[in-house]
Each structure stands twice: as structure tokens, then as C-alpha cells.
Structure 1
Amino acid sequence: MNAYEDEQHAWAAREELAERMIPVIGRLYRANGTVVSIHGRRLIGCSPIDILKAHRFARLAGDDVLDPAKTLAVLESLDALGLGAASIDVARLVQRFDAGSGSYEPRALADFLRAELAEVVGAEPPGPTDVVLYGFGRIGRLVARILIAHAGRGSGLRLRAIVVRSGGDKDLRKRASLLRRDSVHGSFDGSIEVDEKNQTILANGTLIRVIYSDDPAAIDYTEYGIDGAIVVDNTGRWRDEEGLGRHLRARGVARVLLTAPGRGSIKNIVHGINSDGIEKGDRILSAASCTTNAITPVLAALDEEYGVERGHVETVHSFTNDQNLIDNFHSGDRRGRAATLNMVITETGAAKAVAKALPQLAGRLTGSAIRVPTPDVSLAILNLKLDRAASKAEINAFLRRTSLTSKLRQQIDYIESPEVVSTDFVGNNRAGIVDGLATLADGDENVVLYVWYDNEFGYSNQVVRVVEKMAGAHPIQLPERDAVAHEEVPVAQTV
């Protein structure tokens, strides 16, 4: 057999292993609410090719591509454990098991997994929490897609309704069409049915009531069987407690989350940073902004490790709906000029907003922004002075480690490639992605970091994580953070 045929047979064997994983992955999720991933890459709903691509990504944490035979063995053992809701990183389990016995004898593997995942063995799934999306624009529709994809066995978050202002006779079908087709993020993954008589959209088994209203306080959600709901306000119409409190006057509403920076005393939550500070008595919360979510985790990690003395944040941000397509009047400076033709200097409160999640950085950061003619994916440039000197290699190794093994691994991603551009990050579910090759550091206290972020989808995932936290339904991440925080991680290869 020649080299060509060897490679073909090897690929077919790996593909067959990936195909055998798919029913196990689905069964774990539907039966137990167990989400399995490889270094943060979710495997639910993946094709065999996607699963094998995730195995290739694992080389960021080691010299070898993750062996799919080992992954399959772990998945089959997990399937027999009777797990509860959890987010489980299979790659890290394989690494830990290999570092110990390394023998994939079924009993030894089962004993190892039972010990590693003791917190969720036999655990009950979280109770259901109703969710209402007030507004159905860019963020609202992406949050809907994520909630529908996470519906699983029906426990945890349940998308029950969307609230919009009526747009006429064809409104319902147009709303459903916008959910089905997206110029940036592609087609909805599944089936959508519209029932105009009952004013509902059925998406992959999730029945969504469409409610038309101009006044949040005037809606009685209990009429639709909705109670104790978390309302996610995507409109940005109200930013303070008085305005957002209108939602709480509606029957069936328990809490409110704003998908924009909150004003006054409203807590601005960046999941992974200050989300543990959410209390049952917090009835109105904010998920901050996309930029704040992108930069705060990276700043938090650097401040803990090196100390951040001061810095400036420049965001190169995709245009948004509040800008004009062609030159026209706008109340904001420069934003009246055509968004698709111009780079537009504008203001951003993201740098100051970081202090609401990281009070120790109050007064240390400045910020500015440039809107550019792209529809999605933005870039934050962090120009920082640290408390101690660090080289480019040291900074990058630390951030790579943070993205793979720390408590912030759902928020921070890391990549090293000389060819990536903004469109490569469309659909990334992390809050921010550090571009390691772009890092500037000469071994003194000054460092410049480039952090990409899908300002729509990455942010929407952060919103859903906050809602899960509010509902007590956010799955625990296992295995826990590595005991050796500063273990050496090999240099990432390009992708």
C-alpha cells in the first residue's frame, strides 16, 4: 500500500470513529444535559468532519493531535456514569488520564472519570426557567438561536416568547424569515414553522409565542402559561432602573437582563469576571457591552498575573444599525455619514465600563473607537503598561494557558496564524480571541495586545451565560482548573 492509500485509510478510520461518537454525544446531552467539548469547541450537532477538526485544534495544548479512539472511549464511559448537567472538556480528561495510568481498560477509565466528575455523577438537572426576549434585532435573534440550540431535554432555560412592535400583516412571517436566514451568520440550523393563527414560531421543537406590545408593563405573560420569567431586553430603549422596571410590573416576570451597558446603580455583569456576584435579590441586571465583554477577561487575567498600571483601548468596530447607510442626519457626531463607505471616529464607554466589573482598574484605562465598513467582528487593541516586565513569548504563553485551562476558558480564546482576518472569527463563541502573532512586547513593562471578537455572536453567548447564572442553570465546567497553574504549554501551531 502506498503513502496515498495509507493516508486515505487512516482518514477513513478516524472518520468512522467520529461517526460513532455522534449518537453518544447526542444521548449525553438530551438525557442528562451534559455538554461535551474539546478545548471549548462544543461537539453537539457537529458533523464527523467538524469533530475531527476539533481534535486537530487540540494540538494547541500538546505535540500530538488528540486521538479520536481515546475520545470515543471517554465518551462511552461517560455515557454509563449517569451524569447531571455539566460542561465537560474531553480533551483535558484524556490528558489527565494519559498522565496517570494511560491504560484505557474500561474499569480503570470509569473509576478515573467517576472521581474526576464526582460533583455531577447522579446529579439532578436544573429546573426550567422561562425566558422572554423583548426585542428581536441582531442580538435578540442570535440569543434565540443559542437558546433553541441549548434546549436539550427541556430543563434549564426555555425560550417561551418574543415581544415586538407590530410591523403589519406579514410581520410574523418576516420575523421568522429573519430568524431562518442571516446574511452574516448563515441559515438557521434546523426547521422553522409559522402558525399565524396562534401567533407562534416553532423552531426545532421550541414553541415561541410572538407578542405584540409597545408597553412592557401592559403584558400579562401568565395568559400564555409563562411565569417567573427572565426578560432579556434587547431594545436598548431603557437603560436605567426606572425604565427597565416597567418589565417587572408585567405579570409573570421575575427578573430583567439588559443587553447593553446599564446606567446608575444597575450591576454590569461580564460572565466569568463578576457573575458570581449575582444575587437572588438582583431583579435588574446588565450584560454590559460586546467590547466590555471582549476586553475585561483579558485585562483581568493580565492584572492578576502582571498588574495593569494603566492603558488605552482602541476598538476597531463593525458598523451597527444606529448608523446611516448613506449620509443623513444623525444626533451623534460623525455617525450620520455612510457606514458602508467610511471609517468613523466615535466614542466608546467600554474602557470606563471595565471598572464596573473590575473596580481595581477604575481610572487606569482610556478608550476610543473607530467604526469600519464591515458587518461583524471587531478588534480591540490594548496598549498597556504592566507592573512588571514581560516578553512576548511569556505573555503569549500565559494567555494561551489561560484560554485552555483557567476559569476564563469560556471567555478567552487564543490563536496564532499569519493568515487570519476578521471573517475567520464569525461565529466564535468566546468573548474575545487573542491574536498571539500580533502581540508586541520587548521585555519591558509595555505590551500591546490585539483581541478579536464577534461583537454579535460572541457577545450573545455571554448574554446567555448570564441568563443561565441568573436562573441557577449554568452548567459547571469540568474538570476544574488545572492544579498547576503555570505548567508549560507548547507553542501553538498555525491554523
Structure 2
Amino acid sequence: MTNTWLQTLAQAESLIPLLGKLGREKSVKVELAGNTLMADSVTGLMTAFDQHPELDLDQVYQVLEQVLASDVAQTVVELESLVAEADVASVLAAKPNNGTETPVVLYGFGRIGRLLARRMCTLGHTTPGMSLAAIVVRKACDNDLTKRASLLKYDSVHGVYEGLVKVDEENQALIINGSPVKVIYASDPETVDYQAHGIKNALLVDNTGRWRDRDGLSVHLNRPGISRVVLTAPGKEMKNIVFGVNDNDVTNDDRIVSAASCTTNAITPILSVLESKYGIESGHVETVHAYTNDQNLIDNIHKGDRRGRAAGMNMVMTETGAAKAVSKAIPSLEGKLSGSAIRVPVINVSIAVLSLNLKSATSVEEINQLLKNASNRAELTGQIGYSDGADAVSSDFIGSQQAGILDSLSTKVRGNQAILYVWYDNEYGYSCQVVRLMEKLAQANLVNMSVVKDRAA
């Protein structure tokens, strides 16, 4: 790119209205090598395009104009591939477009629930095929709506939410960036009739962790207005999906799916790349994890013995099922990985230490380059990040959108033995993964895919 900085700045600024219209009017998300191009920040666009100097921003502008003028809606478009096409109009015409929008219900509005809402309702960002319709919570106090709005707006870890959040007491709703989100008070899912609130064919996301098996979650599915359920925790008797690794395993018949755990999402994409390249004989995953709400702040009774000790001043040995859960996304790793965890006194961002016995020898340079290349592939950009920062510490990764980020300067290799360190924002990075899975389910392309397969057969 031969443009001067100011010329490039002007070109990036000219893209913001186009990206804004595509998001607002057509619910089209524009991605570049797997990263979402946001309409809220010229700096963000400059950073994104700086990594792709081969792109002509004048040509990018023309392509986005074509997308805006087309019938494409409620979908994701990959900018890099469109720019490379000689006949953009034909590519857009062939893109599936049902023009529908799936309402989303967040059942539970704790740490993950609020971050899902933030991600879905981020200014300059669009979630194709879906919109936040309702939140279901237990009423905590007389001014519950005001408290919920405040917790969404102000967060000690992730800072102040830049969007507009208002309270509509009369209609029992939160107004987020101008869109009403109904707040439904219920202590049991069996009591909720979503259709009575004007909600039909909704995708419900259970953030409570209260039910983790098919029978428990089926209660949601049996309520009027709900057509699909996603669990934001490891699930039993259902598919555990790590987006970017095994999301293609989901079919239209899967009405209840799990988005697995934050740790499983952090390590599985990297393990999938290593398994494909070298093969993994065995390994152990040790997670050094930020403390969470299920621990006590001071010593007290807890169903998990050590988790009852003060979270803010102790390293707490505990268990994790994340290593075993990897095999649900990568079946070839069944029985090959063990895992354990240590909760530590930081409020967010964790690190997983992967100690692996590979089937073939390698080197630090080879593994780092392999994973760096993977982090730049469109299909894994959101799942694998790459850090070569000499001064990197945990707080640097707060707000990271990737599921896991390799700390390349810490990689250790001796023959076929490798130790990798993977950072992850166990709150927001995981929430971004959940939203990616929700987008795929909400776009309702699975039926079309099944029809294509049937015809091919």
C-alpha cells in the first residue's frame, strides 16, 4: 500500500458509514481474515488493515458498496475473499438469504450473561441473524431493573460499557442502544411462557449452570416460544461444541448443545492444530485460573472443600474436566489427556500449561511458526491468538476476543516433548466463542446444508 498515513486514515474513515449501514440495516457482519470489522473505531480499522497491506482500500470501499446494494442480509461476508473475486455480484447472488432474525433469550444474567449481552449489543458490531429479546432472572430486590442496568453498564473487570443502557420500568425492560430487551422474572423455567411476551422460535442461552444434562435443559425447550437451547458450561448427553473446531458437527436435529467451558475453548483449537501436524501421544493440562463467583471471598462452608477458603488470598488446588472434555471435540484424543487446576487471586484471565508428548520431534521455532500461521487463518483467527510480547502479563489479555493466545516466548521443546502456555480471558474470550456459536445456529443455514447433503447422496 503506497498511500500516506493521512490518505489511509481518510479511506478508513470512509468505510465506517458503509459498515454501519450494513450492520444496522441488513445485519451483515464483515470479516477480514476472521476478525470483525467494527463501525465504531477508525483506529480499529487502521489496525486491521495494517495487517493486510496488500488490500487496496478503494477497492474495499467498492466491494462494500456492492454488498450494501445487494439482497444479502442476516449473514457474514468475508472481505478478503470478496476482494479477490472478479465477479462479486455473482458471489453475493449465490449467498443464502432468508431474511429472518432469531430472538435470543438469556436465561441468567451473571458474569457470562452480561458479557454475552455486551458482545451482542456492542456499538459498531452486528450479530447476524439474531437479536437480544429477553433476559430471565430471579428478582433480587425492589429496584432490580436499575441494578441490572448498572451491572451491565459498569464492570470492575471490563470497564464501562460504551453503549446506552436505560431502564423502562413501565414495560419491565432494559433499553440497550435503543432496542428494548424484556426482563422476565422467574425462579423456574417451567413457569415462563415466552410467546406471551411476543417471543417465538427463540434461541435460549442458559448461563446458570444449574442444569447440565438433556433432561434438565429440555424444560426450556418445552416452553412456548423456545426452539433451541445453548448451555454455557460443559454438558452431558449432548454435543459439546468448540467453535472453529467441531461446530460443523451440529445438525438441525441438535436442539440442545453445549458451548463447553472456557478452558476447553482455550486449549482445543491449539491442540487440534498440533494433533493434525504431529499427533499427540499423551499430555497433561494444568490451568492457573482466575478465581470465580463460586468461591468464597473469606473462609466459610463450601461444598467443594478447598473452594471454601478465601479466594482473594490463596492459591486453591481444584479439579477441571477441561482436558477430558477436549476429546468431545477431538475424538482422537480420547483418554490421552489429564488435567488439574489452581485457582489464584486474580479477578480475570487464566493460563493453561499444556505438557504434551508428541508423536514426532519438533522445535520451538517450528511449533511457534505453526501456531502463528494458524492464528492468521480465517477459520481460526477468533480461536487462536499469538503473543510475542516480552513484557506480557495476564492483565494484557483482558478483553481478548480469541479463545486462547499462545505465549510464544514461553514455548519449551525437547525432542517430542513440548510445553506450551496459553493465555485466555476466561470471561470475555469465552463469551465471544459462545456468540460465534449462537450466530451460526441463528442464521438457520443448517437446514439448507442438510438439503444439499441429501441431494448429493
1:467 paired residue among 412, 424, 438:
438
Matched, 1:80 2:80: no
Matched, 1:30 2:2: no
On the 8 A contact 1:125/1:155 being kept in 2, the answer is no
Structure 2 match to 1:66: 53
On the 8 A contact 2:279/2:358 being kept in 1, the answer is yes
How far did 1:177 drift? Answer: 0.7
- What TM-score, normalized to structure 1? 0.83
On the 8 A contact 2:267/2:422 being kept in 1, the answer is yes
Moved more, 462-471 or 32-41: 32-41
1:338 paired residue among 300, 305, 310:
310
Distance 1:34 1:158, change over 3 A: closer
User: What amino acid does structure 2 have at the position aligned with 1:421?
Assistant: V
1:359 paired residue among 318, 323, 331:
331
CA displacement, residues 352-380 of structure 1 (integer Å, 9 cap, x when unaligned): 11111111101100101111111111111
Distance 1:17 1:209, change over 3 A: same
Matches of 1:113 and 1:179 in 2, distance apart?
A: 44
Distance 1:268 1:252, change over 3 A: same
Matches of 1:400 and 1:88 in 2, distance apart?
A: 24
1:114 paired residue among 84, 88, 97:
88
Moved more, 270-279 or 20-29: 20-29
Matches of 1:152 and 1:430 in 2, distance apart?
A: 16
How far did 1:87 drift? Answer: 3.9
How far did 1:345 drift? Answer: 1.1
User: What amino acid does structure 1 have at the position aligned with 2:432?
Assistant: N
Structure 2 match to 1:162: 135
Moved more, 45-54 or 387-396: 45-54
Once the two structures are superposed, the pairs formed by residues 140-289 of structure 1 within 5 Å of their partners are 140-149=113-122, 156-263=129-236, 265-289=237-261
How far did 1:426 drift? Answer: 1.2
User: What amino acid does structure 1 have at the position aligned with 2:175?
Assistant: L
Structure 1 match to 2:375: 403
Q: Secondary structure at the match of 1:363?
A: coil
1:16 paired residue among 10, 15, 22:
10
How far did 1:162 drift? Answer: 0.5
Matches of 1:405 and 1:310 in 2, distance apart?
A: 26
Structure 1 match to 2:413: 441
CA displacement, residues 47-77 of structure 1 (integer Å, 9 cap, x when unaligned): 2222223334x1xxxxxx7278x23431333
Q: Secondary structure at the match of 1:448?
A: strand
1:47 paired residue among 41, 44, 47:
41
Once the two structures are superposed, the pairs formed by residues 373-412 of structure 1 within 5 Å of their partners are 373-405=345-377, 407-412=379-384
On the 8 A contact 1:145/1:188 being kept in 2, the answer is yes
On the 8 A contact 1:66/1:91 being kept in 2, the answer is no
Moved more, 19-28 or 289-298: 19-28
Matches of 1:10 and 1:196 in 2, distance apart?
A: 52
Q: Secondary structure at the match of 2:263?
A: helix
Matches of 1:392 and 1:153 in 2, distance apart?
A: 38
How far did 1:237 drift? Answer: 1.0
Structure 1 match to 2:452: none
Distance 1:386 1:150, change over 3 A: farther
- What TM-score, normalized to structure 2? 0.90
How far did 1:150 drift? Answer: 8.2
User: What amino acid does structure 2 have at the position aligned with 1:351?
Assistant: A
How far did 1:125 drift? Answer: 5.2
Q: Secondary structure at the match of 2:160?
A: coil
On the 8 A contact 1:148/1:206 being kept in 2, the answer is no
CA displacement, residues 317-337 of structure 1 (integer Å, 9 cap, x when unaligned): 110000111111211121111
Structure 1 match to 2:426: 455
Distance 1:314 1:474, change over 3 A: farther
On the 8 A contact 1:33/1:152 being kept in 2, the answer is no
Distance 1:113 1:414, change over 3 A: farther
Distance 1:256 1:151, change over 3 A: farther
Q: Secondary structure at the match of 2:159?
A: coil
Structure 2 match to 1:4: none
Unaligned runs of 5+ in 1: 1-8, 59-64, 98-110, 476-495
How far did 1:309 drift? Answer: 0.8
Q: Secondary structure at the match of 2:289?
A: strand
How far did 1:144 drift? Answer: 1.0
* Identical-residue share of aligned pairs (%): 49
Matches of 1:163 and 1:424 in 2, distance apart?
A: 33
On the 8 A contact 2:235/2:260 being kept in 1, the answer is yes
Structure 2 match to 1:369: 341
Structure 2 match to 1:124: 97
Distance 1:222 1:34, change over 3 A: closer
Once the two structures are superposed, the pairs formed by residues 419-430 of structure 1 within 5 Å of their partners are 419-430=391-402
